């Protein structure tokens, strides 16, 4: 069941503070707080409806409604395979297959992860608004995180802004990578393309990629990759830049001899749960098409 309210017991450090001050400290955005306080019984203090400027006292119980946004009418629910890694009332973690976009776009209106989720929650008669936390390219596989309510969306967005959500990739690169390294090379949009990116010292935005070589097989290297920055196509561009492009990459190394898509996988995702504050780590095994390159 997707969360529609949350309850707090007021700790001593907020004794005498107002409800809106307290909720802002719990991660409510200004916009969400406005939505909440205009709901019927949006704020209840010990079961009594209050205004957001009500002062709180230690040990009291504050309940706040979490409004649901109206579902996107243009998001078509479609029955598609869905690999759920973890789910609770605040978030869902999925293992995205290669070839499936995260969100609809031109040419992909009904074959995305968001379409699959819309169908999944429609069957459960629960409201759902697609809100991914970070994105993966269509042909990149692996773990993807979605928030399921506006409060978790607010808190996870803040974690993203502060680089507190950590993703580790597995990439297969051509040739023998160094044992480890850090690539610092600014990335910009290519002059003659809307999607291609290039390393450009003059126009590029700062981009930093760390890698560690895990194995070498059949002329390919398996690498663990972490990003300090999140530029479009960063891993793909940086690996090409150092002479070790990913096989099967239609933009940067269109060699489909061994694999039909870029050999890139979102292997692990770590973050703090937006409500429980517990550390969370999820992994998705390397898919068969990438494993085949190393066997």
Tell me what pLDDT residue 167 has: 97
Q: Contacts by 40-46 with C-beta closer than 8 Å and gap 24+?
A: 41/65, 43/19, 45/19
Mean pLDDT by 10 residues, the chain (295 residues): 94 97 96 93 96 96 90 86 96 97 90 95 87 91 96 95 96 97 97 92 96 97 96 97 97 95 98 97 97 94
For residue 188, the cross-strand partners are 198
Tell me what pLDDT residue 103 has: 92
The residues, any chain, with a CB within 8 Å of residue 285's CB and separated by 6 or more, are none
Query: Which is the catalytic residue, given 20, 90, 137, 249?
Result: 137
Q: Contacts by 275-284 with C-beta closer than 8 Å and gap 24+?
A: 275/3, 275/6, 275/90, 275/151, 275/152, 275/155, 280/86, 282/85, 282/86, 282/93, 282/143, 283/143, 284/85, 284/95, 284/141, 284/142, 284/143
Tell me what pLDDT residue 275 has: 96
Tell me what pLDDT residue 142 has: 98
What is the three-class DSSP state of 137?
A: coil
| 289 included as an active-site residue | no
Tell me what pLDDT residue 186 has: 98
- Give the pTM: 0.92
**What string of H, E and C letters represents the secondary structure of 217-266?**
ECCEEEEEEEECCCCCCHHHHHHHHCCCCCCCECCCECCCCCCCCCCEEE
Tell me what pLDDT residue 205 has: 97
Measured distance CA(62)–CA(185) in Å, rounded? 49
């Amino acid at each position: 069941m997707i969360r529609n309210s949350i309850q707090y017991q007021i700790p001593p450090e907020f004794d005498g503070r107002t409800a809106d001050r307290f909720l802002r400290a719990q991660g409510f955005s200004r916009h969400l707080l406005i939505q909440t306080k205009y709901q019927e019984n949006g704020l209840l203090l010990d079961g009594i409806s209050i205004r957001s400027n009500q002062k709180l006292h230690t040990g009291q119980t504050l309940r706040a409604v979490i409004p649901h946004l109206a579902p996107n009418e243009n998001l078509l629910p479609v029955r598609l395979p869905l690999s759920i890694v973890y789910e609770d009332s605040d978030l869902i973690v999925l293992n995205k297959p290669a070839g499936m976009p995260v969100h609809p776009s031109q040419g992909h209106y009904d074959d995305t992860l968001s379409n699959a989720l819309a169908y999944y929650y429609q069957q459960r008669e629960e409201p759902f608004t697609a809100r991914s936390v970070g994105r993966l390219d269509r042909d990149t596989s692996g773990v993807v995180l979605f928030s399921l309510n506006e409060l978790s969306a607010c808190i996870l967005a803040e974690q993203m802004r502060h680089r507190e959500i950590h993703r580790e990739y597995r990439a297969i690169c051509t040739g023998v990578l160094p044992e480890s390294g850090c690539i610092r090379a600014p990335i910009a949009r290519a002059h003659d393309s809307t999607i291609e990116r290039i390393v450009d010292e003059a126009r590029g935005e700062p981009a930093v990629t760390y890698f560690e070589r895990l194995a070498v097989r059949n002329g390919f290297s398996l690498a663990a990759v972490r990003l300090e920055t999140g530029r479009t196509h960063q891993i793909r561009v940086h690996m090409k830049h150092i002479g070790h492009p990913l096989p099967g990459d239609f933009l940067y190394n269109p060699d489909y001899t061994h694999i039909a898509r870029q050999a890139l996988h979102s292997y692990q995702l770590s973050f703090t749960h937006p409500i429980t504050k517990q550390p969370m780590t999820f992994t998705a095994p390397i898919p068969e098409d990438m494993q085949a390159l190393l066997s």
